[in-house]
Structure 1
Amino acid sequence: MKLITKEVRIGIAGIVALCILIYGINYLKGINMFKPASYFYVKFQNVNGLADSSPVFADGVRVGIVRSISYNYDQPGDVIVEVEVDTELRVPKGSTAELVPELMGGVRMNILLANNPRERYAVGDTIQGTLNNGMMEKVSAMMPEIEKMLPKLDSILTSLNNIMADQSIPSTLHSIERTAANLETSSRQMSRLMSRDIPQLTGKLNTIGDNFIVISDNLKEIDYAAAFKKIDATIENAKMLTEKMNSKDNTIGLLLNDPQLYNNLNSTATNAASLLEDLKTNPKRYVHFSLFGKKN
């Protein structure tokens, strides 16, 4: 009699296949049945679509998975999530867990580890959880403001369309383009002026400044007191000369102030002019020249 019959072998093969199937399903879920792990409970008011076997992260590193999610019927409004984490993970007291929606869909759980090296949660303790909507929450908060802005944006777009439809806009743009070209030309000319003419002007100004310095040094060497004395003496002499010219007790004064002398000199000049004129007209009357003697 055979100890292992055909039926026994079939049963053993079915059990082995079932174990392999269970292990494979758990492995695909991220559950390692042969690796020791510890577990905690996290209490949420809303899991926001969190599913079993979802990954659990701490500081950006995957440290466990979600084993199960159950609704607390004794305290409505609470959802208990069982989390399996690595045995090496120490969860300090004061730590919390948060659910963060991902951009591609789904929800990820993050354990926010507190800075408390002295105390830690024991296996099976309950951690408080929160829901962090991230950018979606900020967008939801901004939606009322955006709705208020939509009519204003519509009116602004209408005004812009009316402005762009105006026929004067192209000519204005061409004018602006020409103005920009003129500004560019002016800028180039200014650059040439700054690079060529300004240094020359600066050199000339420096030369003028040096000349002023030389003139200033020369002016410092002038004896102003002696110069003013000479000027005063010259003015005094001019004053004396003027007084003498106005006085009649000298020749120049008589010449300038005596009308009779002036009249006599004028009469003498007139007679001399008449004599010269008569001499030119009748020279024989005044000069006689003959080789044979005088004639009667």
Structure 2
Amino acid sequence: MSKELKTGIVAVIIIFIFIWGYNFLKGQNLFDGNTRYFKVEYSNIGGLTESSLVTINGLKVGKVVDIAFNKAADKKGELIVRFSIDKDFQFSKNSVVKIYSPSPLGGSNLAIIPHYEGEDAVSGDYLKGQIESSLFTSIGERLDPIQAKLEDVMVSADSLFRNVNKVLDTNTQQSLKNSVTSLETTLKEVKKMMVSVNGMINATSSDLKESVKNTKTITANFAKVSDTLAKVNIGEIMKKAEVSLNSVNKMLEGINTGKGTIGKLITDETMYTNLENASKELEELLREMKLHPKRFVHFSLFGKKAKAYTPNKDTELEKEANN
């Protein structure tokens, strides 16, 4: 073998090794026949770079091979991402390729969300693309409306402060100072009043304790009385009272019907008339004894006999006494 032939063979081997190494570093394995290549379009790749990982359900299955602008006139500015899959995993053309960020500080990767309905995807097919919002993107999307609202609030606050400055002229400021001074004086008076109230409470605390003690004693006495009343046979007492009332009713009924001395006295008119006549005669007897005591009583130290009764003379003396 000539020296030139050896040199050519070595040069071809070196070139092949260089091409293989270059493609290997780009994520392409020339000796792997199962490698498939797919494309997906994005309007924004969110930090995706060549050699970014491609995963299915968290498992690394390939790498991003190339990222280039779309040359179509109606899709200027769109980006075409070409990636390879080394694993022999079948999925349909309806699968979705999503750009996601595994960490806030790391780069972006591709995640294939496989679908199995429909025609199987083959090397060279275009798949549907989606972008998953990262932490900072989500925060930014939420902060944008808040920022707009804060700007509106700041403008409103600025207008409010301007109006307040217009209202708070020198006289108003002086009035506010006077009001604050009056409020301070009022608070001092309230403080003094509270001190006085505390003193009164402290002074009457012993009386309150004594009142509470008396109340407890009264409550205990009431409890004893209630216990005593609970032990008393109320039913027996009521029966006895009922018997007594029946006896009184019978007695009153007898009086009304004229039974007994009281009943006869109340119902018998003859007895009432006799009593009235006896009362009149007793009254006349007492008057006679008062006017003529000598008729009934005679007393003499020397044994002198009593004078005989002369009706005419006595009648005249009685008339004179009546006159």
User: What TM-score do you get using the length of structure 1 for normalisation?
Assistant: 0.48
For the pair shown, the structure with the greater C-alpha radius of gyration is 2
User: What TM-score do you get using the length of structure 2 for normalisation?
Assistant: 0.45
